[in-house]
Amino acid sequence: MPFGYRTGLIALTLLISVTASGETLTDHADPLIDSVTEKVVSWRRDLHEHPELGNREFRTSALIAKHLRSLGIEVTTNVAHTGVVGILRGAADKPMIALRADMDALPVKERVDLPFASKVTTQYGDREVGVMHACGHDNHMAILMGAAEVLAAMREKIPGSIKFIFQPAEEGAPEGEEGGAEMMVREGVLQDVSAIFGLHVGPGPLGSIAYRAGGFMASSDSFSVTINGRQTHGAVPWGGIDPIVVASQVVLGLQTITSRQLDSTLTPSIVTVGKIQGGVRFNIIPDSVEMLGTIRTFDPGVRQDIHRRIKRTAESIAESAGATAVVKIDKGTPVTSNDPALTRLMVATLEKAAGADKVGIMPRATTAEDFAYYQKQIPGLFFFLGVSDPEDENPASNHSPYFYADERALPVGVKAMTYLALEYLEKE
């Protein structure tokens, strides 16, 4: 276990405290980041080999809590089930920022040939599944553990406090349970925090950073529409009300919301019907049809607007046929939206961490990320770190059993998180 490094750390701190003044905080951080890299790599391999599903991150949270405590950081465990929150406390009159990493793995059987590949299996619902850090959250945790070590070694110099948020269940809590960022927020994790930063690894040039101001990862809501007609013989449609024809009209009607009703120059959005079910036999018109779908948007206003329009479209089309439509919308993850002012403030810091030529603006992603719940409360900046092996011409996406993060990107992640904390607090 890579925990016996405290003495080395203290020696380094002393060394830095006598370096010439006039150096910036990030100059002070650089040698500390170098010294922690080997440990970050080994934590990441260890976490990768021992993945745990959402709300079940028991070994993971114990390892993180132990590390934070060894650094003299104030630690709270069991936040929103298995979450770990550490506070590196500075002067009380100075601001506090938060750095966030997610901890959960996915029910995916790893197919990457690595000495530290996951062989873990577990029960998922009624099935035995492989477990893998197929979304790369092992990297996020190792990076934040490394940043915590660097920042703890510099605590005397930091003009504020830093909260380290290790969050469970980003991919969603198990059936029937709550969890993730929404629950962390409800349990008060953002108390006294003025800004939050987070990163995600993914396919992209090794060590590059991509960000975008405003809404850049979609809100993800699900909906169901039940069309209630009246059952009759397939040969006597006038004897009832055909919910299959009405449902077909509703599917097409819903498509006109994004294509014909919303201003397409403003922001993209998606309405998809992914499941439709009704009827038992070729010659019976059934009583009802149920359909399920998903809504993706990049703007909270558009999101509300689409909800209203789905209801109106389904109900009005059903009414025109004498049927009824029951619409239920389940609000999921909100839009992940980077605060424009905070983004502007911190872009230079990202460029300093990765190199100006390696930082770019990313396109929007229609996938969702529950970091959005923090950003609903306080300004936040979430960005992507490219972890593709330069030799790999066709890197696998997150959630693939072949997803692979090149660990040479890890120091860039540590640098970005450390620099963001230091420079934000310095600017405030």
Q: Are 416 and 199 in contact (CB under 8 A)?
A: yes
Total number of residues that touch Zn ion (CB under 5 A): 1
The DSSP letter of residue 132 is: B
**Binding mask 330-369 vs Zn ion (x if CB under 5 A, - otherwise)?**
----------------------------------------
We find the least distance from the C-beta atom of residue 94 to Zn ion, in angstroms, to be: 31
Q: Which is nearer to Zn ion, 135 or 199 (CB)?
A: 135
Q: Which is nearer to Zn ion, 167 or 194 (CB)?
A: 167
For residue 186, give the amino acid letter.
Answer: R
Quick check: 425 binds Zn ion (CB under 5 A)? no
- Reduce the DSSP state of residue 274 to 3 states and report it: strand
Both tokens of 17, joined, read 């405290």
**Do the bridges between strand 96-102 and strand 193-202 make them parallel or antiparallel, or are there none, so unpaired?**
parallel
Provide φ and ψ at 362, rounded to 5°: -90, 155
Distances (CA, A) of 299 to 200, 320, 338: 21, 31, 12
Pick 106 or 151: Cβ nearer Zn ion: 106
- Nearest distance in Å: CB 350, Zn ion: 19
Q: How far is the CB of 413 from Zn ion (least distance, A)?
A: 14
| Nearest distance, CB of residue 243 and Zn ion, angstroms | 36
Kindly list the distances between the CA atom of residue 221 and the CA atoms of 22, 182, 271, 331, in Å, as whole numbers in the listed order: 51, 15, 10, 5
Alpha-carbon distance of 398 to 132, in angstroms, equals 11
Cβ atoms of residues 196 and 100 within 8 Å: yes
- Nearer of residues 248 and 367 to Zn ion, judged by Cβ: 367
Q: Of 71 and 135, which has the nearer Cβ to Zn ion?
A: 135
Calpha distance 219→365 (Å, rounded): 10
Selected binder of Zn ion within 73, 108, 135, 314 (CB under 5 A): 135
Nearer to Zn ion, 217 or 285 (CB): 217
The residue range among 131-139, 202-210, 215-223, 253-261 that interacts with Zn ion, by the rule CB under 5 A, is: 131-139
* CB of 134 vs Zn ion, minimal distance in Å: 7
Taking the complex as a whole, the smallest distance from the CB of residue 140 to Zn ion amounts, in Å, to 8
CB of 396 vs Zn ion, minimal distance in Å: 13
Q: Which residues contact 418 (CB under 8 A, 6 or more apart)?
A: 26, 29, 33, 147, 150, 151
Question: For residues 135 and 147, which CB has a smaller minimum distance to Zn ion in the complex?
Answer: 135
Using rule CB under 5 A, residue 53 touches Zn ion: no
Q: Rounded to the nearest whole angstrom, what is the least distance from the CB of residue 75 to Zn ion in the complex?
A: 24
**Encoding tokens for residue 243?**
């919910």
Candidates 129-137, 334-342, 372-380, 412-420; binding stretch for Zn ion (CB under 5 A):
129-137
Cα-flanking dihedrals φ and ψ of residue 168, to 5°? -80, 170
Binding segment for Zn ion among 45-53, 134-142, 246-254, 415-423 (CB under 5 A)? 134-142
Please state the closest distance from residue 398 (CB atom) to Zn ion, in A.
5
Q: Looking at 127-135, 143-151, 317-325, 402-410, which segment touches Zn ion (CB under 5 A)?
A: 127-135
Closest to Zn ion by CB, 104 or 242? 104
The separation between CA 330 and the C-alpha centre of its own chain, rounded to angstroms, equals 19
Question: Residue of minimal CB distance from Zn ion?
Answer: 135
* CB burial string 398-417: b at 16+ within 10 A, e below: bebeebbbbbebbbbbbbbb
3-state secondary structure of 284: strand
Q: How many residues does the chain have?
A: 428
Nearer to Zn ion, 135 or 271 (CB): 135
Phi, psi dihedral angles at 273 (to 5 degrees): -95, 120
Minimum distance from residue 370 beta carbon to Zn ion (Å): 9
By CB under 5 A, name the binding residues for Zn ion: 135
